Amino acid sequence: MSLHARKIRMIMGLRRAGLTDTDVLNAIERIPRELFVLDSFHDQAYEDQALPISHGQTISQPQIVAMMTEALEVKKTHKVLEIGTGSGYQAAVLSRLCRRLYTIERYKSLLAEAEQRFHHLRLHNITSRCSDGSRGWREQAPFDRIIVTAAAAEVPQTLVDQLAVGGIMVIPVGPERGDQVLVKLTKQEDGSVSPKIITDVRFVPLVEGALPEGEGRPTPRRMEN
Ligand code: SAH
């Protein structure tokens, strides 16, 4: 079966699963997921499953990407922040739906690969940086929407602070390798948030603090004497 046929089958599967937002499905149809997975998983790019990328991270299952994107209720005027660029797939899908997409990744090399994909696909409304995303992106706040694609032990208050009033955040919450739930929060006038659980999920952890050391640089050679 051709990649195109597989993609159509995947979209039909998403519809059957109740994901019917036409704008979201169109955005998914327009982004070639095969460019975001490792070469060895090319054939599986349109199966509804999460796949490994480098550094032990994963590109999320298409159904979860669709569900999170739909829950975010993105509009063309929105400024959106994503934490956890990974392969860049979720960012690419979102970039078709919003005005500007900001994305943060802690692995320099993952970010560099994602940036190449954005460039190749001419997704010019994406701005990215390498840092600890749990601190958000203060210079660009407030954001109309925030999506976190790694599981947090609890919702980082810094991110709530950077969300506009009336804004929506979608974030997986729960322990590493434990029971995690996908939560949708809406920020109220008084700054508080009203959380709603969407579904059970399994995500890699949101790692706070120092960035992976030396990552992306060649391993230093041992001095010979
Ligand atoms: N959205 C991605 C999948 C994300 S996997 C995609 O579509 O492919 C989760 C990513 O979050 C990993 O790449 C991981 O390195 C990153 N991550 C984890 N903690 C982070 C943090 N504090 N700041 C930025 N990125 C983080």
Distances (CA, A) of 100 to 76, 91, 97, 129, 139: 9, 10, 9, 14, 14
Residue 221 has pLDDT above 70, yes or no: no
Residue 218 has pLDDT above 70, yes or no: no
Residue nearest (by alpha carbon) to ligand 1 atom 18:
206
Q: Whose CA is nearest to atom 11 of ligand 1?
A: 84
pLDDT at position 108 over 70: yes
For the stretch 10-69, pLDDT in tens is 999 999 999 999 999 999 999 999 999 999 999 999 999 999 999 999 999 999 999 999
What CATH number is given for 3-222 in this structure?
A: 3.40.50.150
**Active-site residue flag, 128:** no
DSSP codes joined into one string, 120-146:
HTT-TTEEEEES-GGG--GGG--EEEE
Give the chain's mean pLDDT.
Answer: 94
Q: What pLDDT score does 126 carry?
A: 98
Pocket of ligand 1 (CB under 6 A): 57-60, 83-84, 86-87, 89-90, 104-107, 110, 132-134, 149-150, 204, 206-208
Q: Which helix (H) or strand (E) holds 89?
A: helix 89-95
**Residue 137 has which token pair?**
């992106």
| Protein residue with least CA distance to atom 19, ligand 1 | 206
Rounded Cα–Cα distance for residues 214 and 71 (Å): 36
The band of 209, judged by pLDDT with boundaries at 50, 70 and 90, is: confident
Mutate which of 207, 208, 211 to test ligand 1's pocket (most atoms within 8 Å of Cβ)? 207
The residue nearest atom 2 of ligand 1, judged by CA position, is 86
Closest ligand 1 atom to residue 133 Cα is: 23
In the chain, the percentage of residues whose pLDDT exceeds 70 is 96
Query: Which atom of ligand 1 approaches the CA of 58 most closely?
Result: 5
Cα separation, 215 vs 51, in Å, equals 22
Contact criterion met (CB below 8 Å) for 68 and 51: no
Residue range 107-117: mean pLDDT, rounded: 97
pLDDT of residue 210: 85
Catalytic residue among 2, 54, 60, 194: 60
The answer on pLDDT for 222 being more than 60 is no
For the chain, domain boundaries: 3-222
The predicted pLDDT at position 214 comes to: 73
Enumerate the β-bridge partners of residue 105: 130
Going from the C-alpha of 30 to that of each of 5, 123, 214, the distances in angstroms are 14, 12, 35
The answer, yes or no, to whether residue 225 has pLDDT greater than 50, is no
